[in-house]
Structure 1
């Protein structure tokens, strides 16, 4: 192992730590499941409860096997965590594709209120889904970050560029990646956190494109209805 991992003076994101608390991610995933269950059945994969139920099962498995700190190195746990993110992605992509198809063909968006609610729910879920992928892959994922396996980050946070502005115990947690995802979805580009690796740039590009399409179609249709 390299010297940085043994250097107690190094910032937390560059040395082994106890790992993140599970509750942050669990709470947000629970919100995703609730949002998916609240979506109209015509915009979900049938049966309506299937994908939310699978997400709930994966979440329960993670909470049972690794309930507190996310620092246990386990291939099954890693596969379960990635599987949860993948299922959430498929569920939201399905709803998004049906909404866009409906807006283009005219079968969706007859009233502004429900349309804005559906669009906001799908857009918000998309923000969380991309946050999960950023969190899962930056420097190998939360467990790899806890053990400081990879010294080079995929996302350059301001605290990494200017360490004097942050405590030496600072390290990125899920909410930092959620903020990155939210700002990328609203600004359609990176803001204070820069993607460094090609996969990070590609994911941010895809997220910005999806967000732009959703906002443009939903808002345009809603304005047209209100007129």
Structure 2
């Protein structure tokens, strides 16, 4: 697909049955992540954190103006802004994650404040990884519903619906092959949440090296944070 021109809801989707994805789930999640990051107790100067939030909000406004309600159009520049937004939120939160780990290890600061900061970092991490998965898999949210399946980039993840065609009828009717199902942000958020809590794939499997590396990073971060939070909580109780 030519990324220089916006996709057409009439021409490009004529062979697809799936409806375009709503803007609001990813938008709400992004705003929650930005609020959690902005008010994170941190030694990072407030102006630096608010600068990151400001840049992210600016990119978000541009993307909303381009696709206000449904994700139906994409150009080369909008795709780059979409990727940059997800990567910036993830990268900024990794810095906050490292700082939080150092503070937990050195037992700096108020205990309850550190536990709250850990929760904020963990929530932002789940949302940020979900945004990255959602943005990269099969060309992103617009490509997944506008490009013919035979022309889509290789999938980074395999969802249960991708294998349900031969299941019982009421399950098979919701499969990718039968009803042209594709994952949306809520699917990636659930997947990210499960990966961060279970520290391993649940019902969705990584297929590419980049997917496996990202999942490994998320699981490792979740495990380390949980272990140190438990240790900190035990020391506070003791």
The interval holding the TM-score normalised by the smaller chain is 0.7 to 0.9
**Alpha-carbon distance in structure 1 between the residues aligned to 2:164 and 2:49:** 47
Q: 1:223 deviation in Å?
A: 1.2
Aligned length: 214
What are structure 2's unaligned runs of at least 5 residues?
2-12
Q: 1:51 deviation in Å?
A: 0.9
> Does the 8 Å CA contact 1:183/1:191 hold for their aligned counterparts?
yes
**Alpha-carbon distance in structure 2 between the residues aligned to 1:141 and 1:98:** 31
Corresponding residue for residue 144 of structure 2: 145
TM-score normalized with structure 2 length = 0.82
What are structure 1's unaligned runs of at least 5 residues?
2-11
5 Å-filtered alignment, 1:1-227, equals 15=16, 17-42=18-43, 46-108=47-109, 110-111=110-111, 113-148=112-147, 149-150=151-152, 152-163=154-165, 164=169, 165=171, 166-167=173-174, 168-227=179-238
Q: CA RMSD in A?
A: 2.2
Q: 1:199 and 1:47, CA in 2 relative to 1: closer, same or farther beyond 3 A?
A: closer
Q: 1:73 deviation in Å?
A: 2.6
- The superposition leaves residues 28-79 of structure 1 with CA deviations (integer Å, 9 ceiling, x where unpaired) of 1111111122212425664341111111111111111221221313011011
TM-score normalized with structure 1 length = 0.86
- The superposition leaves residues 90-146 of structure 1 with CA deviations (integer Å, 9 ceiling, x where unpaired) of 2211211111112223324x42x2222111110111011110111111111112212
